[in-house]
């Protein structure tokens, strides 16, 4: 039985990989110097699914079901089951849940918080019952995709706080870096490693340098990262679903639209929802089948019973699956459909390889400079991914000594150790900024304040804007402060904020600037980046006459 | 089992590099495991064949799909609903030694050929850890008391899989389990109960462990197994319950769900039986039928399934202790070592705690992988990497040589085995009826022989029927062979006459013979 010694002041920290499809939690074992994944409901992974239902004892309350049980219920209760909430984090829209035909609205971070709370509850039970530790997890290291926006990071943190963790003890770290730790922990040689992290909802490519210190411990630094926050295995599932739906359309001669609830085509709303949920489920199974097989059978007999029985019985080959160009919008939003319309699985893999290329370029490396390719995330086992990586790097990718599904969470547990016991031996990660961060200035130009790849010390990185902002007109008393992130930067290139890859993080007005002729009043802007890569911006009028004004990033969001 | 000395010499003289892996493989009836010995951590590690998304062990299941002419393995073979002429196999191990063949496509394929495909796939997982991986050596964990014919076929399967040169040895499950347990523990005098709750049988042995510095001397006091209490038997009960639930809950349009029940069972068993079912029950969804069916599976449902097995397991242990014959009681067990997939079920773990409240109970987090862990440790030790303790099991329970008599038929003398090699001393009485002709009066003596696996025979004693009257016709003689304790064979001889034609003289005789000392574990 593991014996975990603890930093009692901080309490226990839990390593959390909160994924789009599945979530995993791990704890650092101080005795053995390794990470242990905590089983939840009989499995290492918990499907990131929640289902709401009427509380039997209190009509005003909703009770919740999580994980596998909730996932199983998604077909019968599609309206009260939420899958893939991670993709919604950072959006302002509320999520509607219908229980007994009554509507309930939740913020995405509330729903995520419920799931994280369940992970915490189960992890607390585990350490109490299995490890005999009379304590609970007061904090966590929760991982986020390397290319998360600042707002997504904030909302992830908020979800963890909703989940029951202390505000001051929620630490965000990057998923590929966490995965790299689990890889590097047993490493004995200096290496340059590409982490290819293809998850359910996101893709990240990340290049890391692993250097073995004089004490024999790995020191990891992130050289570059590039990714797409709306590109994941789920998008591949939709292509499989599209193939099956095309067959359905052909069998019904297009007379039934399962995705238009109001269409009068002889099938009830509820039956449509059930059919869509079954379509989603079998599409995922079909995709998984192609990871190990050349053909897949799809049998849905019957698929629908109204207005007539329609049986789907088809066989798809791997080639067909890889090359099918998506036709239907299905359950995706207009924006997502626009991105993937006409795209095949091979195209999606190309998109990930494109991110890899950009990541290499940002690190100023060639494929031959990469010593190892390390694949993480469930979608990395998708057919053709390995072949493409072999083609590019001339070597077979590693999966992991630690299983790819668990490596991020176990890396997060190692991070827990670094935070709780910074003096203890073990791998160290030099945190660095990922993308250039800056301000919009006159002429819609982008003024870089924080460069990509700057080291972030433990106390945080503070960078003052290289220029003071000046008023553009006479007698103005406010100034727009708009913060951008350049996700597709090229060193030394002049950029404009309306170019591709520019993400507007937040914007607000700094008020209280003393009225004066244009250019006389100046504003100093300071960017602070913590080790969790969350940005805080403060702006202050420097005039002796002007009242000091300080704006933090939270204010920027609320006023954006 | 013979050690491949040449291979060992080659391997021992070769430095184990980062890309060379020392493996322990356990081919189980339901699930198989592959472990490697992590040289830097000096500890065995399982190779998680699921990539962490499911079970680390690989179900011992294969499927051949005729359309694409390809094999699929493990979980994928279970979750894929076969159609047409697809062949699904989930019991290849149990057929070892029977010269099993099956039609695959247009050809008849042997069990060893099929098992070889599975071994190839299992070993291929090594590449997931390191694409440049090479095998330094393998120890294969096999059933305690595996039959020679089964071992021969298993060896052939490894040869067909291209691994035979890497196989150092085949080692029994119990030796592997003890090697893993004592890897980090000192052997002190104690009574240890090793329970293997596996797919085909529940097996248990009581071992008297003695102190040893670099070895673990283990004297086996009792050993017992029961196939009615296997994980397979429990699984069947669960599947039957799932079918019953569906038949009672589905509407008139109920479908035949038999083809899907294995998949449904595989997806739901762990969630239902590896933890406490909440008070409000746990929902299971028959989503593969239309309309889907929802059922709240309660504690009572679970109890209905497991109660008969609980009673069976209790009675099993009572028998095991009775056979120990040396006064060892439940409370005398210091250590309870649990292996096998059965220990993933919460009720089994709780039952062990109830039955052995004062024992130190060891249940590994992956009880299915214990033997493979132990095999990896033994492999490392054999390659000179570890000074792991050697497991020295003194086994007096199994008969190591055939015991029988020499008879003459049509003028030719031949050995007739009565107790066969591999059986256990407690396996009841074996009776033999002989027909004797033209016997002169006086003492009638039959010599008892042992025969080893090379065919060499040794006389170990004789049994006599004294004062038999002379007769010129035929007469039946009964011989009863049984063991009164592990090394002592009792042979009873009796004149049976010949029915109504020739009444028995009432002559009888009995002798106790010391048989050969049994060998080691494997």
Cβ-Cβ contacts under 8 Å for A332 (sequence gap 6 or more): A238, A340
**pLDDT at position A554:** 44
Residue in chain A closest to B55 (alpha carbons) equals A43
The minimal CB distance from A42 to the residues B40, B132, B274 is found for: B274
CATH architecture of the domain covering A189-398: 2-Layer Sandwich (3.30)
Predicted confidence (pLDDT) per residue in A102-137, tens digit: 899 999 999 999 999 999 999 999 988 887 777 789
Helix axes B346-355, B299-324, angle to 10 degrees: 40
Chain B residues with beta carbon closer than 8 angstroms to that of A404: 51-52
With an 8 Å Cβ cutoff, is B18 touching chain A? yes
**pLDDT at position A399:** 61
The minimal CB distance from A293 to the residues B53, B68, B131 is found for: B68
Mean pLDDT of B37-59: 82
Angle (CA) B252-B258-B260 rounded to 5° is 100
Cβ-Cβ contacts under 8 Å for A518 (sequence gap 6 or more): A470, A471, A472, A473, A474, A476
Instruction: Please give the mean pLDDT across all residues of chain A.
Output: 85
Cβ-Cβ contacts under 8 Å for A469 (sequence gap 6 or more): A439, A441, A479, A481, A522, A523, A525, A539
With an 8 Å Cβ cutoff, is A396 touching chain B? yes
- Cβ–Cβ below 8 Å for B131 and A43: no
Highest mean pLDDT: which range of A31-45, A451-465, B343-357: B343-357
**pLDDT at position B18:** 66
Chain A residues with beta carbon closer than 8 angstroms to that of B81: 297, 299
CA distance A352 to chain B (A): 21
**pLDDT at position B115:** 94
Q: How big is chain B, counted in residues?
A: 522
Q: Is ipTM over 0.85?
A: no
**Furthest-apart CA atoms within chain B: distance in Å:** 84
Pairing of strands A191-198, A372-376: parallel
Mean pLDDT of A275-287: 88
Output the DSSP codes for A212-265: E-TTS-EEEEEEEEEEETT-SHHHHHHHHHHHHHHHHHHHTTT---TT-TT--S
CB atoms within 10 A of CB B375: 36
The minimal CB distance from A73 to the residues B68, B274, B283 is found for: B283
Predicted confidence (pLDDT) per residue in B135-188, tens digit: 999 999 998 878 888 999 999 999 999 998 899 999 999 999 999 999 988 889
CB atoms within 10 A of CB B267: 18
Kindly tell me if the per-residue pLDDT of B521 is higher than 50.
no
| Residue B150, token pair as written in the block | 């089964």
Chain B residues with beta carbon closer than 8 angstroms to that of A75: 285, 287, 292
Instruction: Please give the mean pLDDT across all residues of chain B.
Output: 84
Q: How confident is the model at residue A157 (pLDDT cuts 50, 70, 90)?
A: very high
Kindly tell me if the per-residue pLDDT of B43 is higher than 70.
yes
Mean pLDDT of B372-383: 94
Cβ-Cβ contacts under 8 Å for A361 (sequence gap 6 or more): none
Select from B77, B284, B287, B288 the residue whose CB has the most chain A CBs within 10 Å, as the one to mutate to test that interface. B287
Q: Can you say how many angstroms the Cα of residue B309 is from the centroid of all Cα atoms in its chain?
A: 19
Q: Cis ω on the peptide bond leading into residue A302 (within 30° of 0)?
A: yes
Listed residue (B169, B178, B121) closest to B373, CA to CA:
B178
Predicted confidence (pLDDT) per residue in A304-343, tens digit: 887 888 888 898 999 999 999 999 999 888 989 999 999 9
Cβ–Cβ under 8 Å, residues B35 and B23:
yes
Residue B327 DSSP class:
-
- Cβ–Cβ below 8 Å for B76 and A293: yes
Mean pLDDT of A1-12: 48
List every span in chain A annotated with CATH 3.30.420.40. Answer: 1-186+401-430, 189-398
With an 8 Å Cβ cutoff, is B86 touching chain A? no
What residues 330-389 of chain B have any CB closer than 8 A to a CB of chain A? 365
Predicted confidence (pLDDT) per residue in B102-122, tens digit: 988 888 999 999 999 999 999
What residues 348-367 of chain A have any CB closer than 8 A to a CB of chain B? none
Pairing of strands A437-441, A445-450: antiparallel
Predicted confidence (pLDDT) per residue in B213-262, tens digit: 788 999 888 888 899 999 999 999 999 999 999 888 876 545 667 778 88
Provide the whole-model pTM: 0.79
List every span in chain A annotated with CATH 2.60.34.10. Answer: 437-559
Kindly state the percentage of chain A with pLDDT values over 70: 93
Q: How confident is the model at residue B2 (pLDDT cuts 50, 70, 90)?
A: very low
Chain B residues with beta carbon closer than 8 angstroms to that of A305: 290-291
Q: Cis ω on the peptide bond leading into residue A307 (within 30° of 0)?
A: yes
Select from A185, A274, A401, A408 the residue whose CB has the most chain B CBs within 10 Å, as the one to mutate to test that interface. A401
Residue in chain A closest to B281 (alpha carbons) equals A69
- The domain over range A1-186+401-430 is classified in CATH as 3.30.420.40: yes
CA distance B333 to chain A (A): 20
Kindly tell me if the per-residue pLDDT of A290 is higher than 50.
yes
- Cβ–Cβ below 8 Å for B51 and A399: yes
Kindly state the percentage of chain B with pLDDT values over 90: 37
Residue B502 DSSP class:
B
**pLDDT at position B260:** 81
Residue in chain A closest to B282 (alpha carbons) equals A69
CA distance A41 to chain B (A): 6
**pLDDT at position A555:** 43
Kindly tell me if the per-residue pLDDT of A224 is higher than 50.
yes
Highest mean pLDDT: which range of A122-126, A404-408, B44-48: A122-126
**pLDDT at position A132:** 79
Kindly tell me if the per-residue pLDDT of A401 is higher than 80.
no
- Cβ–Cβ below 8 Å for B52 and A404: yes
Encode burial over A171-201: b for 16+ CB neighbours within 10 A, e otherwise: bbbbbbbbbbbbbbbbbeeebbbbbbbbbbb
- Cβ–Cβ below 8 Å for B127 and A396: yes
- Cβ–Cβ below 8 Å for B53 and A398: no
| Residue A14, token pair as written in the block | 């839990």
What residues 33-62 of chain B have any CB closer than 8 A to a CB of chain A? 38, 40-41, 45, 48, 50-54, 56
- Cβ–Cβ below 8 Å for A69 and B283: yes
Q: How confident is the model at residue B360 (pLDDT cuts 50, 70, 90)?
A: very high
Kindly tell me if the per-residue pLDDT of B6 is higher than 70.
no
**Furthest-apart CA atoms within chain A: distance in Å:** 79
Chain A residues with beta carbon closer than 8 angstroms to that of B284: 72
Residue in chain B closest to A38 (alpha carbons) equals B365
Please tell me the least confidently modeled range out of A14-18, A385-389, B148-152, B393-397: B393-397
Output the DSSP codes for A360-412: HHHTT--GGG--EEEEESGGGGSTTHHHHHHHHHSSPPB--SS-TTTHHHHHH
In CATH terms, A437-559 corresponds, of 1.10.150.120, 2.60.34.10, 3.40.309.10, 3.30.710.10, to 2.60.34.10
Which whole-number Å values give the CA distances from B96 to A261, B2, B93, in the listed order? Answer: 57, 20, 5
Work out how many CB contacts closer than 8 A connect A with B.
111
Residue in chain A closest to B50 (alpha carbons) equals A403
**pLDDT at position B15:** 56
What residues 8-47 of chain A have any CB closer than 8 A to a CB of chain B? 22, 24, 37, 39, 41-45
Mean pLDDT of A292-299: 83
**pLDDT at position B5:** 54
**pLDDT at position A300:** 84
Predicted confidence (pLDDT) per residue in B303-339, tens digit: 999 999 999 999 999 989 987 766 789 999 999 999 9
Which helix (H) or strand (E) segment is B381 a member of?
helix B370-382
Predicted confidence (pLDDT) per residue in A87-105, tens digit: 899 888 899 999 988 899 9
- Cβ–Cβ below 8 Å for B287 and A281: yes
- Cβ–Cβ below 8 Å for A42 and B275: yes
Q: How confident is the model at residue A295 (pLDDT cuts 50, 70, 90)?
A: confident
Predicted confidence (pLDDT) per residue in A34-82, tens digit: 888 998 887 889 999 999 998 877 777 899 999 999 998 888 888 899 9
């Amino acid at each position: 039985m593991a014996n975990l010694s603890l930093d009692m002041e901080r309490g226990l920290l839990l390593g959390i990989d909160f994924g789009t499809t599945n979530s995993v939690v791990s704890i650092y074992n101080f005795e053995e110097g390794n990470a242990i994944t905590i089983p939840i409901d009989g499995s290492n992974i918990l499907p990131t699914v929640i289902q709401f239902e009427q509380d039997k004892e209190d009509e005003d309350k909703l009770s919740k079901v999580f994980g596998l049980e909730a996932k199983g219920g998604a077909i019968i209760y599609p309206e009260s089951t939420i899958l893939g909430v991670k993709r919604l984090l950072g959006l302002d829209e509320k999520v509607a849940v219908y229980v007994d035909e009554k509507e309930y609205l939740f913020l995405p971070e509330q729903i995520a918080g419920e799931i994280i709370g369940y992970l915490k509850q189960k992890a607390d039970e585990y350490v109490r019952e299995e490890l005999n530790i009379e304590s609970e997890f007061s904090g966590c290291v929760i991982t986020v995709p390397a290319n998360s926006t600042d707002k997504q990071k904030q909302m992830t943190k908020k979800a963890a706080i909703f989940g029951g963790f202390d505000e001051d003890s929620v630490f965000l770290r990057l998923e590929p870096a966490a995965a790299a730790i689990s890889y590097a922990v047993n490493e004995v040689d200096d290496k340059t490693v590409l982490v290819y992290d293809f998850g359910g909802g996101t893709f990240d490519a990340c290049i890391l340098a692993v250097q073995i210190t004089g004490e024999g411990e790995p020191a990891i630094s992130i050289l570059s990262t590039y990714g797409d926050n709306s590109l994941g295995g789920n998008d591949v599932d939709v292509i499989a679903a599209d193939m099956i739906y095309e067959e359905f359309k052909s069998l019904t001669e297009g007379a039934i639209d399962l995705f238009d609830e109001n269409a009068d085509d002889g099938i009830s709303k509820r039956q449509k929802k059930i059919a869509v949920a079954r379509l989603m489920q079998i599409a995922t199974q079909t995709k998984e089948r192609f990871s190990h097989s050349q053909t897949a059978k799809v049998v849905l007999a019957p698929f629908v019973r109204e207005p007539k029985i329609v049986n789907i019985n088809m066989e798809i080959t791997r080639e067909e699956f890889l090359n099918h160009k998506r036709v239907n919008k299905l359950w995706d939003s207009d924006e997502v459909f626009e991105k993937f319309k006409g795209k095949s699985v091979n195209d999606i893999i190309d998109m990930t390889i494109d991110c890899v290329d950009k990541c290499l370029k940002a690190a100023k490396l060639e494929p031959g400079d990469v010593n190892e390719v390390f694949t993480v995330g469930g979608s990395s086992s998708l057919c053709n991914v390995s072949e493409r990586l072999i083609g590019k790097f001339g070597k077979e990718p590693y999966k992991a000594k630690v299983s790819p599904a668990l490596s991020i969470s176990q890396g997060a547990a190692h991070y827990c150790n670094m935070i709780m016991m910074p003096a203890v031996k073990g791998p160290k990660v030099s945190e660095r900024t990922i993308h250039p961060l800056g301000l919009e200035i006159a002429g819609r130009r982008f003024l870089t304040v924080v460069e990509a790849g700057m080291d972030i010390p433990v106390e945080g990185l503070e960078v003052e804007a290289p220029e003071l902002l000046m008023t553009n007109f006479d007698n103005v008393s406010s100034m727009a402060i708009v913060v951008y992130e350049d996700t597709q930067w090229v060193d030394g290139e002049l950029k404009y904020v309306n170019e591709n890859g520019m993400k507007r993080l937040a914007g607000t007005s700094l008020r209280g600037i003393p009225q004066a002729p244009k250019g006389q009043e100046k504003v100093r802007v300071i960017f602070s980046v913590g080790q969790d890569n969350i940005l805080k911006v403060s702006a202050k009028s420097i005039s002796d006459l002007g009242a000091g004004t300080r704006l933090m990033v939270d204010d920027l969001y609320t006023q954006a | 089992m013979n050690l491949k000395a040449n291979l060992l010499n080659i391997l021992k003289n070769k430095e184990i590099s980062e890309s060379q892996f020392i493996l322990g493989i356990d081919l189980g009836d339901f699930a198989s495991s592959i472990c490697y010995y992590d040289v830097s951590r000096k500890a065995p590690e399982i190779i998680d064949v699921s990539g962490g998304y499911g079970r680390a062990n690989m179900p011992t299941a294969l499927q051949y799909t005729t359309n694409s002419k390809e094999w699929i393995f493990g979980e994928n073979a279970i979750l894929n609903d076969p159609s047409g002429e697809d062949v699904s196999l989930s019991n290849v191990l149990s057929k070892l030694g029977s010269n099993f063949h099956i039609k695959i496509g247009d050809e008849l394929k042997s069990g060893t050929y099929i098992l070889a495909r599975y071994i190839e796939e299992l070993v291929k997982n090594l590449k997931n850890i390191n694409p440049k991986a090479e095998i330094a050596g393998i120890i294969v964990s096999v059933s305690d008391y595996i039959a020679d014919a089964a071992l021969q076929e298993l060896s052939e399967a490894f040869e067909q899989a291209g691994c035979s040169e890497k196989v150092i040895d085949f080692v029994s499950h119990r030796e592997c389990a003890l090697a893993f347990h004592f890897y980090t523990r000192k052997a002190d005098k104690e009574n240890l109960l090793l329970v293997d709750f596996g797919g085909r049988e529940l097996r248990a042995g009581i071992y008297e462990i003695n102190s040893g510095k670099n070895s673990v001397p283990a004297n086996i006091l009792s050993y017992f197994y029961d196939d009615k209490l296997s994980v397979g038997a429990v699984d069947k009960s669960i599947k039957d319950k799932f079918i019953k639930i569906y038949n009672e809950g589905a509407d008139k349009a109920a479908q035949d769900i038999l083809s899907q029940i294995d998949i449904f069972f595989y997806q739901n068993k762990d969630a239902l039986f590896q933890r406490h079912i909440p008070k409000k029950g746990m929902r299971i969804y028959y989503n593969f039928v239309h309309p889907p069916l929802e059922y709240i599976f309660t504690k009572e449902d679970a109890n209905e399934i497991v109660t008969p097995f609980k009673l069976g397991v209790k009675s099993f242990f009572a028998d095991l202790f009775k056979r120990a014959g040396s006064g060892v009681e439940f409370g005398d067990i210091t250590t309870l070592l649990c292996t096998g997939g059965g220990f993933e079920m919460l009720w089994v773990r709780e039952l062990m705690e109830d039955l052995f409240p004062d024992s130190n109970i060891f249940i590994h987090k992956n009880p299915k992988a214990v033997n493979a862990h132990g095999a990896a440790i033994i492999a490392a030790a054999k390659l000179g990497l570890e000074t792991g303790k050697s497991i020295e099991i003194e086994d007096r329970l199994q008969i190591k040589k055939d015991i029988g008599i020499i008879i003459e038929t049509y003028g030719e003398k031949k050995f007739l085995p009565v107790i066969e090699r591999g059986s256990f001393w407690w396996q009841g009485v074996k009776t033999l009826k002989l027909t004797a002709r033209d016997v002169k009066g006086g003492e009638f003596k039959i010599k008892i022989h042992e025969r080893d696996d090379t065919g060499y025979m040794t006389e170990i004693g004789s049994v006599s029927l004294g004062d038999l009257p002379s007769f010129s016709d035929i007469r039946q003689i009964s011989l009863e062979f049984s063991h009164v304790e592990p090394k002592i064979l009792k042979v009873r001889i009796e004149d049976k006459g010949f029915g109504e034609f020739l009444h028995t003289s009432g002559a009888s005789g009995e002798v106790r013979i010391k048989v050969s000392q049994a060998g080691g574990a494997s």
